[in-house]
């Protein structure tokens, strides 16, 4: 499935760290990204001190909002996922992150 958002780098070969598009704060390791089939960048873990979790109860649903720990920029939401090592999926808005120093494996 193609990414629903631009300009997220859609490469499973990307290495490095994904950072907040607003302030550059490190958020996710590229190695912890996976294809969830939802069209949004997905990760199974975050970098320590990178992401803040906020409980939301809007629209009749309970969910966890993810924001940048440094600047509070909205990143996406956290969902249960039985297919990851951590049991969760960080569903991220592709416009909210970018690859810090892209390098690609040949």
- What H or E segment, with its residue span, contains residue 67? strand 63-68
Q: Distance from CA of residue 72 to its chain's centroid? A: 14
The CA angle 11-17-21, to the nearest 5 degrees, is 90
Just list the catalytic residues.
Answer: 91
- What H or E segment, with its residue span, contains residue 29? strand 26-29
What is the C-alpha R_g of the chain? 13
In whole angstroms, give the CA distance from residue 26 to residue 38. 23
């Amino acid at each position: 499935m193609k990414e629903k958002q631009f300009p997220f780098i859609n490469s499973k070969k990307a290495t490095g760290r994904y950072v907040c598009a607003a302030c550059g704060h490190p958020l996710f390791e590229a190695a912890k990204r996976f294809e969830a089939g939802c069209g949004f960048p997905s990760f199974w873990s975050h970098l320590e001190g990178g992401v803040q979790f906020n409980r939301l109860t809007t629209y009749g649903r309970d969910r966890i909002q993810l924001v940048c720990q440094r600047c509070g920029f909205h990143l996406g939401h956290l969902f249960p996922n039985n297919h990851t090592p951590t049991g969760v999926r960080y569903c991220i808005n592709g416009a909210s992150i970018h690859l810090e120093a892209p390098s690609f494996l040949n």
